[in-house]
Chains A and B, each alone.
Chain A
């Protein structure tokens, strides 16, 4: 590697207020793996909705899963989306995995757009999962075990992803409060480098950890 290249330890620095780097692989790979598991579970539910399998696996609520997945609510969502809601879930979880996997270990500064997009994918997905669970309880009147599992996974993903989104937003906030420049915010968001952004990143990194 060239001597001019930025060192790996420079990329993988802890970002206050945390004692770790939220963009480190050790932080992101578990998110990707868990999102991938949720995508696999959603694939199983999609196969049932498409009619490729006779029953959705449910060790707790017996036929509850089948009734939820073929309920009028699910059918109306199918009419609206053009694809089954479980298939959309597969795509959303795959999106979490893909957006979680892309970017270097300092993407909170170098590619804030990617981190924000990742947050936009993960956090609403958690909210949608909770809404779907409420739909099960109050509209359909049945429960689907694997839907509850994926909803729980969504909430774990929100919890795990939040620290990285937070430091990216903190970095953008520093840029804004120091310069009040829309142009510089634009550059910071898209990762276009300049001296001011170098300093903003260093300022965040040099904050004291309580």
Chain B
């Protein structure tokens, strides 16, 4: 589940980003980052529960949204929005990593029939 752990760590960074980049006075960025961070962490958390084990794939949509927001909100993108682009692209790579990625998929964990 290391992919999900990295997603949660990234969500923590995103939640702290408005203060790191000094834009906490911008309500849109502040609450945007908070809510997106919360949804990333929630989707990663849901992936630990078997019925919702594919929830991390929805992070891909969040990641695409982050990239578009960062790229097109202001031109040229200020640091806070560059952060969105970088996090979005990073999450696109992490979100596709399966749970228990170092193990074979469940269906392949039994020997083939003789």
Binding site for B on A (CB under 8 A): 4-7, 10-11, 50, 78-79, 81-83, 87-88, 91, 94-95, 98-99, 101-104, 106, 109-111, 117, 191-193, 195, 198, 202
Taken together as a complex, chains A and B put the C-alpha atoms of A195 and B114 apart, in Å, by 10
Q: Which residue of A lies closest to B67 (CB)?
A: A82
Kindly state whether residue B77 has any CB partner on chain A within 8 Å.
yes
Q: Which residue of B lies closest to A104 (CB)?
A: B104
The 8 closest A-B CB pairs, nearest first, are: A102-B101, A198-B112, A193-B107, A82-B77, A82-B71, A104-B104, A95-B93, A110-B108
Inter-subunit contact A4/B110 (CB<8 Å): yes
Inter-subunit contact B85/A82 (CB<8 Å): yes
Inter-subunit contact B70/A82 (CB<8 Å): yes
Find chain B residues with CB under 8 A from A50 CB: 79
Beyond A6-B109, A91-B89, list 11 extra A-B contacts (CB 8 Å): A5-B109, A82-B82, A83-B77, A98-B93, A98-B94, A98-B97, A102-B3, A102-B102, A191-B105, A195-B112, A198-B113
**Interface size grouping (class) on chain B:** 20 to 34
Inter-subunit contact B86/A11 (CB<8 Å): no
Inter-subunit contact B110/A102 (CB<8 Å): no
Find chain A residues with CB under 8 A from B108 CB: 6, 106, 109-110, 191, 193
Kindly state whether residue B90 has any CB partner on chain A within 8 Å.
yes
Find chain A residues with CB under 8 A from B77 CB: 82-83
Inter-subunit contact A117/B96 (CB<8 Å): yes
Taken together as a complex, chains A and B put the C-alpha atoms of A50 and B77 apart, in Å, by 12
Kindly state whether residue B111 has any CB partner on chain A within 8 Å.
yes
Inter-subunit contact A195/B70 (CB<8 Å): no
Option from B75, B79, B90, B110 in Cβ contact (under 8 Å) with A91: B90
Inter-subunit contact A5/B110 (CB<8 Å): yes
Taken together as a complex, chains A and B put the C-alpha atoms of A191 and B106 apart, in Å, by 10
Q: Which residue of B lies closest to A191 (CB)?
A: B105
Inter-subunit contact A6/B110 (CB<8 Å): yes
Find chain B residues with CB under 8 A from A95 CB: 93
Inter-subunit contact B101/A103 (CB<8 Å): yes
Find chain A residues with CB under 8 A from B86 CB: 83, 87, 91
Taken together as a complex, chains A and B put the C-alpha atoms of A83 and B84 apart, in Å, by 10
Kindly state whether residue B27 has any CB partner on chain A within 8 Å.
no
Kindly state whether residue B81 has any CB partner on chain A within 8 Å.
yes
Kindly state whether residue B98 has any CB partner on chain A within 8 Å.
yes
